[in-house]
Every structure is written in structure tokens, then in C-alpha cells.
């Protein structure tokens, strides 16, 4: 028996080196590199450089600036406007978080059912998401007109000063945000609902479970990942809320609808305190990051448990 | 078919691809580089494009005068853009901070806002216009609005007044023959209008800057008529909002509210709604700055029905003073590469005929006047006051940009019944001291 050895083709050393794949990076990653570079140049780099201003008294124009250490951060603690706006921001975030996701879930369950017009309804409910928040705010200024014969008042037969009454204005803004983004939550919940296996529902039905019980014991636990994403996105969106407030009330009446974002904007561009504004922005960014991390770690552990 | 997610790319392939992208980006960057500065046109003449960023109120006069400048100075074009005050403030301050501000831009007189002459001049960003002939004729009372340390740093075509824009037809229908000249008469007029089923005063307090106008209309009579040096004393720490006629003005403001002379829910009403109410005759008057008179006329079916009268802030007609402030102007970017050409345009604006044209377009009183100067008939009733019973708008002497927004906010709180006058004035004093 002749043992024949197949010739092994040994490529030249240089060729081997050139053909070696870039460790750990597949083309799908590499294609993202240009976008990441632009993101780094336009967002990351200015953000990191901007942090320096938080320790200065720069007015935003000119070259006069001196380092003031941590005094901007100390001033935040004693600033009534910042503290007041923090309260407003948290209230708004809570309201948006609960109502937007509640409405989004109901809409998702509705359009997930076998309705004839469900495709059209999905588009209708999602449509406000694609409109600019500023446009939505201007539109809702008309809806919220204090005139009792038109707008929401005319529709509901009320005489509420939706944006002019300090005790109502914050909730009016929450209302317009929910109207705009409930469709966004709906889409994420809908994706979650599509992933619930039919077999589980069938098994539960055979076991005699009713609609509510199937939702409670089958659908709801399996929606946990969608809920995690929705809660996190609405929390981040709520804490950063600016456009709608700025366009609808500019923080008023008085200071009733000031959020952290509108306060830091005013400090920079109205009061000419760019350094102080950057300090508030930095605190806000860290606060949002901390809340999001805590939230995601809790919700993820809940997903695992289920 | 290759699965792209799992296909591998060699390091050399990757770097070649990135090199290509970088080259393409560089080429695209070069091709879209904005053309600035002097260029040579097809005719061989030097072509120059100046950039101007202004507020919406400046559009009408600037469009007219930019067209005139094009005729007067061939080869120079001026590209203009306008936006509401908030947006302009944001974008311009960013550009000023980044060192790429336009050649010419809006500047607010005095010192009380983030885009005011004093605040921007403090950073050395406004070109000195003192050598221009028109600056010699700036009335003494207006100099603080134009100048810092004797240097003129902004241009403005004149002054506007704050008073009541009223619908003459509505007044006649309510049996009111002449505008009031004392505070008591003013209250009587409001009462008659209310009884005639009209809203006496339209107030669009949801638009922040509108909130300040009633106090501004009253304070000249309650503060400055009694003490013309109030601003100096306040700057020296010898006077305050809380311990002055500002308290009286706030009380008068709220008295109008308590008597039901404003439209329902003023905090939920915008400037546009206020304009429409007066223009359509639903409301009889609005306390406003004369610069917005053209907007009211545009909204009215018969613009001639609209006129203005000074708001009488005192019970003795001789003690009534009025607010007359320098209107929003423009300055030349001292750090811009076309600073000299930008200054030349301002010099052109400073010619008497151009001051007249600008003033006419916004119903202002021209900064300086000659035989051809015309004053809008609606503001003629203010002219007797302008010599010795007028004071600049209050914010033009405030030391920082925080007092004015604080004033807006406290007025909204007062109208909402959420605050007391003591608290409001205390907040304003605290903002003044910052």
C-alpha cells in the first residue's frame, strides 16, 4: 500500500499575514466605523471637551474665563430654580413613564388582535412619533387653547387653562408627550407580543385559562424585555425633556414647567452663564446615566427571574 | 452568498477602505467649503457677500435698505436671515462663542439681555462705530443704550414707545370719545368697555415678553416721574424694586386683573391671540410696544381703526411719564474678516434718509430728524412726552440678563394668583444683585 500524501499548499508568509482577519471585527462592525468616527467627532469629543467649561465662569462669548473649581456644582445645590425644575422633571418623567407605557401597551394589545384595520391603525397610532416635537407642541398649543368654545375645552365642555394654570400646565405637557410617544411604546410592545409563542396560549386555553389569566401568566411575563426597553427609553426621554416644554410654555407660567433641560438652556443662552449651565448639564447627564443603569439592572434581573 | 456578518476582512482591506472614505470625505469637504470673503466676479469687479442675522422685527426695514445698498454699492451683497428672538439669541451666542459670527448681527440696546450691546461689547466682539458721522447726533438720553466708555458700538434707527394700541371703532361704540389722560379715567374707560361687552385689555401673557409691558408702561409714572435718578441709585445699591414705585405699578397691574379688565386666562393667551383680539374688535386695546403696530395692522380688516395712546400711570396728567426705548439695532462683528465693509453698511444706515426709512417701517420715532422725517400718526400723541417725560425701557439699564426673565416669571405667577407682590419684587431684587 502506498501511502500517498496530499501536497499541502503552503502560502507565502506575506500572504498569510495579509489575509489574516482583523481580530474580532466582522465587516458589519467595520461598516459602522465611519459613522462611529463621525459620532465621536461630533458628539463624544465636544462633550468631553465641554466638561472643562463646567469648572469655569465662561459667559459663552469672548475669551475671558477663569477656573472656579467646584463652585458651579456647589451653586447647583443652593439654586431654587434648579431644585424646582428637578422636582418638575421627576414628576413629568413619572407621569410619562406610567401613562405612555400603559397607553402603549393597551394600543399594542388592541392592534395585535385580529382586527381588519389593524395595519392602518398601527400607522395611525405611530404617526405622531415621526412629527417634530416642536411641531407637536405648536399644534397642541391650539388644542390647549383656553377658549371654552374650541380645542380640547370645546370638545370636553370644559373651561381649563391648560397651559396657563400653574397647577395644570405640567400635566398638560405630559399629555402632549404621551400623545406623541405612546405609538413608540406600542411598536416595542407589539414586537414583544409577536414573539409570544402561540403554543403557550393554546396550552393555557386547554388548561382553562381565560383572557385575563392568559395575559397575566403568559403574555405579561414574556413581555418583560419589551417593558425593560420601553421603561428605560421613556425614563431617559422624560429626564431630558426640552423641545415640547420650550415650545409650549418656555418653562412658564412662572416656573411651573421648568425642567432641568430648560433651566440649563436658559443659563447658557439667556443669562449668559455657560460655565454654570455646563455644570448643570454634566450633573443631568450623570443623573440620567445612574437612573438608567439602576433601572436596567433591576429590570434585567426581573427578566432572568422569569 | 457570503454572510456579511461572518465574513472577515483583512486589515489591509480595511485600511484601504477607510483611506478611500477619508479621501472621499476630504474631497466632499473641499467642494462644499463656503465661499466667504472677497472673490472676483465674472465682470472682474470685486464681489463681497456680507452675512446678517437678525430678529423677525428687523426684516421689513432691512429688506428695503439692503436692496438700496445694493444699488448704492455695486459688488457688495448682503445675505440676511431672520428668526424669533429666542432662536437668534441661541444661534448667535453659539456663533459668537465659536468665533464664526456673521459680519452683521442683531444687538439689543443697553445691558439687560444676553444679546445686549454691553454684554457683547464686554467680550470685545463689537466694532467701534464712533468715527461715523451719525453717531455725533445720538441724543444724550439715549447714549447709554448705544455706547460703552464713550464708544458707539451699535446702530439703531430710533425709539419706540410703550402704550395702549386701541381700536378706535370699539371705543366709539362704547361711547368713549377720547383716550384717557389719568389713571382714574383709564379705569373708567375700562369699566365702560366691559359694560359694553368688550374685553377692555387683551393680554397675551403666555408669550413671556408680553408680560412685562404693563409694568413698563406704568413704572415711568410711578417711579421715574418722582425720581428720575432711580436707575443710578439702584445701581449704587441705594434703591430697590421692593422699596419703590415698582410696588405701586404691580398693584395697579393686579387691580386691572382683579376688576376683570383682561381677557379670561391671560396666562394661556399668546401674543398672536392678543393681536387678533384687538385687530378684530373683540378686545378694545392691548398695552404694547409701538414696534408691533404693523403686526396689529396686518391682522386688522381696517388698519386705520388702530391707534395708540400713552397709558396714564398717575392721577395727575402732568405727572404721567412714558417709556420710550431705543429699538433693537445691529452691530458689526469686530473679529469678522469683513469688519470694514460691515461698518460701511452701518454708515449707510446712519444717513438721515435711511434712518427715516427704517423708522417708518416699524412705526418708530427717528433717532434724528429732518424736514423729511415722518412720525407714524398713531404715535404722535407720545411726542410731547419724549422731550422731558420719557425714560428708556427699564431693562436697558439693568446690570445682567437675569432680571428681565425673572420679571416675566413673577408676573405670570402674580396673574395666576400663585405669588404675592412682596415675593415677586424680592425675586427681582435678588436677580438684580446677581
Provide ipTM, 2 decimals: 0.77
B387 touches chain A (CB under 8 A): no
Min distance B7 CA to chain A CA atoms (Å): 6
Q: B212 with B288, same domain?
A: yes
The 10s digit of each residue's pLDDT in A27-53 is 778 888 999 999 999 999 988 888 999
A175 cis-preceded (ω within 30 degrees of 0):
no
Residue from the list B7, B11, B114 with its beta carbon closest to the beta carbon of A271: B114
Min distance B416 CA to chain A CA atoms (Å): 6
Residue B212 in contact with residue B407, Cβ under 8 Å? yes
Q: State the best of A19, A61, A149 to mutate against chain B, taking most chain B CBs within 10 Å.
A: A61
| Sequence-ordered list of residues with C-beta below 8 angstroms from that of A57, at least 6 positions apart, any chain | A65, A66, A68, A72, A273, A275, A276
- Identify the band that residue A2 occupies on the pLDDT scale cut at 50, 70 and 90: very low
Over its C-alpha atoms, chain A yields an Rg (Å, rounded) of 27
Number of structural domains, chain B? Answer: 2
Distance CA B294, CA B362 (A): 7
Domain carrying residue B217: 162-325+384-433
Q: Return the pLDDT at A21.
A: 55
DSSP state of B126: B
Strands (E), B56-113: 76-83, 104-107
Q: B124 with B178, same domain?
A: no
In a domain, B308, yes or no: yes
Tell if the CB–CB gap between A163 and B17 is shorter than 8 Å: no
Sort out which chain A residues have CB atoms less than 8 A from B405's CB and list them.
266, 270-271
| Sequence-ordered list of residues with C-beta below 8 angstroms from that of B12, at least 6 positions apart, any chain | A18
Min distance A59 CA to chain B CA atoms (Å): 9
**DSSP element (H, E) containing B151:** strand B151-152
Q: Return the pLDDT at B20.
A: 53
**Partners of B308 in beta bridges:** B165
Residue A166 has pLDDT above 80, yes or no: yes
Question: Least CA distance to B126: which residue of chain A?
Answer: A62
Distance CA A269, CA A257 (A): 18
User: Considering the domain A71-305, what is its CATH architecture?
Assistant: Orthogonal Bundle (1.10)
CATH classification at residue B138: 3.40.190.10
Residue B416 in contact with residue A253, Cβ under 8 Å? yes
Min distance B425 CA to chain A CA atoms (Å): 14
A274 touches chain B (CB under 8 A): yes
Residue B305 in contact with residue B279, Cβ under 8 Å? no
Mean pLDDT of A273-279: 94
Q: For residue A278, what is its C-alpha cell?
A: 455646563
Min distance A249 CA to chain B CA atoms (Å): 7
Q: Return the pLDDT at B2.
A: 41
Q: B135 with B251, same domain?
A: no
In a domain, B27, yes or no: no
DSSP state of B364: P
In a domain, B347, yes or no: yes
Tell if the CB–CB gap between A22 and B401 is shorter than 8 Å: no
- Which is more confidently placed, B282 or A9? B282
A271 touches chain B (CB under 8 A): yes
Q: B184 with B311, same domain?
A: yes
Q: B148 with B217, same domain?
A: no
Sort out which chain A residues have CB atoms less than 8 A from B116's CB and list them.
none
Residue from the list A60, A253, A274 with its beta carbon closest to the beta carbon of B416: A253
Tell if the CB–CB gap between A164 and B416 is shorter than 8 Å: yes
Residue A1 has pLDDT above 90, yes or no: no
Q: How many CB atoms lie within 10 A of CB B426?
A: 16
In a domain, B63, yes or no: yes
Place of cell 400646565: A169
**DSSP element (H, E) containing A276:** helix A274-305
Distance CA A240, CA A284 (A): 8
Q: B54 with B125, same domain?
A: yes
Residue among B270, B301, B291, B268 nearest B167 (CA): B301
Q: B353 with B249, same domain?
A: no
Q: B271 with B246, same domain?
A: yes
Distance of CA B395 to the CA centre of its chain: 11
Q: Return the pLDDT at B97.
A: 84
Cα separations in angstroms, B393 against B30, B109, B201, B217, B275: 48, 10, 21, 9, 21
- Rounded to the nearest 10 degrees, the angle between the axes of helix A260-269 and helix A274-305 is 160
Distance CA B367, CA B104 (A): 20
Helix (H, G, I), strand (E, B) or coil at A300: helix
Residue A22 has pLDDT above 70, yes or no: no
Q: How many CB atoms lie within 10 A of CB A135?
A: 13
The 10s digit of each residue's pLDDT in B27-59 is 444 443 333 334 333 344 467 999 999 998 899
**% of chain A residues with pLDDT over 70:** 91
Min distance A225 CA to chain B CA atoms (Å): 24
User: What is the residue-wise DSSP string for B386-426?
Assistant: HTTSEE--GGGG-SSTTHHHHHHHHHHHHHTTSS-HHHHHH
Sort out which chain A residues have CB atoms less than 8 A from B95's CB and list them.
none
Helix (H, G, I), strand (E, B) or coil at B247: helix
In a domain, B366, yes or no: yes
Distance CA B255, CA B191 (A): 12
Question: Least CA distance to A58: which residue of chain B?
Answer: B97
Q: B315 with B345, same domain?
A: no
Q: B152 with B167, same domain?
A: no
Using the CB atoms, write b or e for B102-140: b if 16+ within 10 Å: bbbbbbbbbbbbbbbbbbbbbbebbbbbeebebbeebee
Q: Within chain B, which residues score under 50 in pLDDT?
A: 1-9, 11, 14-15, 18, 25-45
Q: Return the pLDDT at B46.
A: 60
The 10s digit of each residue's pLDDT in B253-269 is 999 999 999 999 999 99
Distance of CA B271 to the CA centre of its chain: 14
Residue B432 in contact with residue B404, Cβ under 8 Å? no
| Residues in chain B, total | 434
Q: Return the pLDDT at A13.
A: 47
Q: B122 with B168, same domain?
A: no
Q: B59 with B117, same domain?
A: yes
Helix (H, G, I), strand (E, B) or coil at B309: strand
In a domain, B271, yes or no: yes
Residue from the list B9, B268, B408 with its beta carbon closest to the beta carbon of A30: B9
B29 touches chain A (CB under 8 A): no
Domain-wise residue ranges, chain A = 71-305
**DSSP element (H, E) containing B307:** strand B306-309
User: What is the residue-wise DSSP string for A7-72?
Assistant: PPP---HHHHHHHPBPTT--HHHHTHHHHHHHHIIIIIHHHHHHHGGGGB---SSSS---B-TTHH
- Identify the band that residue A24 occupies on the pLDDT scale cut at 50, 70 and 90: low
Sort out which chain B residues have CB atoms less than 8 A from A255's CB and list them.
409, 413
In a domain, B402, yes or no: yes
Size of interface A-B (CB pairs under 8 A): 146
In a domain, B19, yes or no: no
Q: How many CB atoms lie within 10 A of CB A263?
A: 26
Residue among B65, B110, B56, B130 nearest B356 (CA): B65
Amino acid at each position: 500500500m502506498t501511502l500517498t500524501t496530499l501536497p499541502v499548499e503552503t502560502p507565502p508568509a506575506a500572504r498569510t499575514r495579509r489575509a489574516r482577519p482583523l481580530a474580532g471585527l466582522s465587516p458589519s462592525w467595520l461598516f459602522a466605523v465611519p459613522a462611529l468616527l463621525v459620532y465621536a467627532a461630533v458628539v463624544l469629543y465636544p462633550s468631553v471637551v465641554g466638561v472643562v467649561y463646567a469648572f469655569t465662569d465662561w459667559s459663552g462669548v469672548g475669551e475671558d474665563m477663569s477656573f472656579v473649581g467646584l463652585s458651579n456644582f456647589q451653586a447647583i445645590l443652593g439654586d431654587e430654580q434648579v431644585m424646582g425644575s428637578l422636582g418638575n422633571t421627576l414628576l413629568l418623567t413619572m407621569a410619562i413613564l406610567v401613562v405612555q407605557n400603559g397607553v402603549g401597551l393597551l394600543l399594542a394589545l388592541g392592534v395585535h388582535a385580529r382586527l381588519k384595520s389593524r395595519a392602518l391603525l398601527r400607522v395611525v397610532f405611530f404617526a405622531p412619533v415621526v412629527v417634530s416635537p416642536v411641531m407637536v407642541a405648536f399644534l397642541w398649543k391650539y388644542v390647549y387653547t383656553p377658549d371654552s368654545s374650541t380645542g380640547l375645552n370645546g370638545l370636553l365642555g370644559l373651561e381649563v387653562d391648560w397651559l396657563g394654570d400653574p397647577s395644570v400646565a405640567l400635566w398638560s405637557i405630559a399629555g402632549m408627550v404621551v400623545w406623541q410617544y405612546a405609538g413608540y411604546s406600542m411598536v416595542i410592545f407589539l414586537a414583544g407580543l409577536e414573539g409570544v409563542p402561540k403554543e403557550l396560549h393554546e396550552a393555557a386555553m386547554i388548561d382553562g385559562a381565560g383572557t385575563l389569566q392568559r395575559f397575566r401568566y403568559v403574555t405579561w411575563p414574556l413581555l418583560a424585555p419589551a417593558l425593560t426597553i420601553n421603561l428605560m427609553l421613556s425614563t431617559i426621554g422624560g429626564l431630558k425633556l426640552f423641545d415640547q416644554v420650550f415650545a409650549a410654555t418656555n418653562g412658564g407660567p412662572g416656573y411651573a414647567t421648568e425642567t432641568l433641560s430648560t433651566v440649563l438652556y436658559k443659563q447658557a443662552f439667556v443669562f449668559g452663564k455657560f460655565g454654570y449651565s455646563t455644570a448643570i448639564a454634566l450633573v443631568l447627564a450623570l443623573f440620567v446615566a445612574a437612573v438608567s443603569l439602576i433601572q436596567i439592572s433591576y429590570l434585567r434581573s426581573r427578566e432572568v427571574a422569569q | 452568498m457570503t454572510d456579511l456578518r461572518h465574513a472577515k476582512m483583512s486589515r489591509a482591506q480595511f485600511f484601504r477602505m477607510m483611506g478611500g472614505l477619508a479621501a472621499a470625505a476630504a474631497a466632499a469637504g473641499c467642494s462644499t467649503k463656503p465661499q466667504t470673503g472677497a472673490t472676483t466676479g465674472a465682470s472682474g469687479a470685486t464681489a463681497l457677500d456680507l452675512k446678517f442675522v437678525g430678529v423677525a422685527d428687523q426684516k421689513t426695514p432691512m429688506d428695503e435698505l439692503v436692496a438700496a445698498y445694493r444699488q448704492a454699492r455695486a459688488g457688495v451683497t448682503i445675505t440676511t436671515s431672520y428668526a424669533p428672538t429666542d432662536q437668534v439669541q441661541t444661534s448667535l451666542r453659539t456663533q459668537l462663542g465659536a468665533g464664526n459670527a456673521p459680519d452683521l448681527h442683531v444687538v439689543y440696546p443697553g445691558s439687560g439681555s444676553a444679546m445686549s450691546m454691553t454684554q457683547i461689547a464686554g467680550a470685545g466682539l463689537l466694532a467701534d462705530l464712533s468715527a461715523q458721522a451719525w453717531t455725533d447726533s445720538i441724543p444724550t438720553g439715549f447714549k447709554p443704550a448705544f455706547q460703552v466708555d464713550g464708544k458707539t458700538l451699535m446702530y439703531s434707527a430710533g425709539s419706540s414707545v410703550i402704550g395702549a394700541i386701541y381700536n378706535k371703532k370699539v371705543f366709539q361704540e362704547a361711547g368713549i370719545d377720547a383716550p384717557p389722560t389719568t389713571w382714574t379715567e383709564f379705569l373708567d374707560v375700562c369699566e365702560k368697555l366691559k359694560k359694553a361687552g368688550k374685553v377692555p385689555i387683551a393680554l397675551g401673557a403666555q408669550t413671556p415678553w408680553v408680560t412685562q409691558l404693563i409694568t413698563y408702561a406704568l413704572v415711568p409714572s410711578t417711579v421715574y416721574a418722582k425720581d428720575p435718578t432711580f436707575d443710578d441709585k439702584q445701581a449704587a445699591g441705594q434703591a430697590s424694586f421692593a422699596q419703590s414705585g415698582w410696588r405701586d405699578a404691580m398693584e395697579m397691574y393686579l387691580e386691572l386683573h382683579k376688576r376683570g379688565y383682561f381677557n379670561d386666562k391671560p396666562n394661556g393667551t399668546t401674543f398672536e391671540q392678543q393681536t387678533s383680539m384687538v385687530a378684530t374688535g373683540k378686545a378694545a386695546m392691548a398695552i404694547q410696544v409701538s414696534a408691533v403696530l404693523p403686526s396689529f395692522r396686518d391682522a386688522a380688516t381696517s388698519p386705520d381703526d388702530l391707534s395708540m395712546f400713552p397709558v396714564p400711570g398717575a392721577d395727575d396728567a402732568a405727572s404721567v411719564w412714558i417709556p420710550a426705548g431705543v429699538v433693537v439695532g445691529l452691530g458689526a462683528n469686530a473679529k469678522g474678516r469683513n469688519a470694514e465693509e460691515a461698518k460701511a453698511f452701518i454708515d449707510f444706515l446712519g444717513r438721515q434718509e435711511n434712518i427715516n426709512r427704517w423708522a417708518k417701517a416699524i412705526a418708530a420715532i427717528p433717532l434724528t430728524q429732518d424736514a423729511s422725517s415722518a412720525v407714524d400718526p398713531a404715535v404722535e400723541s407720545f411726542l410731547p412726552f419724549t422731550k422731558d417725560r420719557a425714560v428708556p425701557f427699564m431693562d436697558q439699564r439693568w446690570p445682567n440678563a437675569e432680571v428681565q426673565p425673572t420679571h416675566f416669571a413673577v408676573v405670570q405667577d402674580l396673574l395666576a394668583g400663585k405669588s404675592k407682590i412682596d415675593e415677586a419684587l424680592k425675586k427681582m431684587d435678588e436677580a438684580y444683585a446677581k
